Amino acid sequence: MQKIFILAFWFCSVSCFLYSDETLLKREMMESETVKKPEYLYKVLSYRHWQATEHRKTVTLSAEDDAFIHLSTEEQLDRIISKYWSTVLQFVVLKLATDKLEGELKYEANLGGSTKYYHLYQGFIPFRSIVEAKIMFGSPSAVCQEVLEVVQLGDPVLREPARELSKEEILSPEIQRLIEEMKGTMRAAPGVGLAAPQIGRALQLIVIEDMDHTHLTTEQISEREREKVPFHVVINPRMEIEEQEKVAFFEGCLSVPELIGIVPRAKSVKVQCLNERAEPVFIEAKGWYARILQHEIDHLNATLYIDRVILPTLMTEGNYMKQWKKKTIKEILKH
The pLDDT value recorded for residue 78 is 87
- What fold characterizes domain 40-141? ADP-ribosylation fold (3.20.170)
Sorted by where each begins, the domain ranges of the chain are 40-141, 148-334
Predicted confidence at residue 187, as pLDDT, reads 87
pLDDT in tens, 272-324: 999 999 999 999 999 999 999 999 999 999 999 999 999 999 998 888 888 88
Q: Which of 12-21, 24-33, 58-67 has the lowest mean pLDDT?
A: 12-21
Per-residue pLDDT of 89-138, as tens digits, reads: 778 899 999 999 999 999 998 877 788 999 999 899 998 999 988 887 64
Dihedral of alpha carbons 152, 153, 155, 156, sign: positive
Equal fold, 40-141 vs 148-334: no
CB 282 within 8 A of CB 271: yes
R_g of the chain, CA atoms, integer Å: 26
Of 325, 313, 265, 312, nearest to 123 (Cα)? 325
**Burial class, 211, CB count within 10 angstroms (exposed 0-12 / middle 13-18 / buried 19+):** exposed
CATH superfamily name and code, 148-334: Peptide deformylase (3.90.45.10)
Q: Is the pLDDT of residue 25 over 50?
A: no
Task: Please tell me the predicted confidence (pLDDT) of residue 7.
Answer: 42
Model pLDDT, residue 290: 95
pTM of the model: 0.64
Contacts of 229 (CB under 8 A, 6+ apart): 192, 208, 209, 210, 211, 289, 292
Sign of CA dihedral 72, 75, 77, 79: negative
168 in catalytic set: no
* Whole-number pLDDT of residue 146: 59
- Mean per-residue pLDDT over the chain, rounded: 84
Catalytic residue among 209, 251, 276, 296: 296
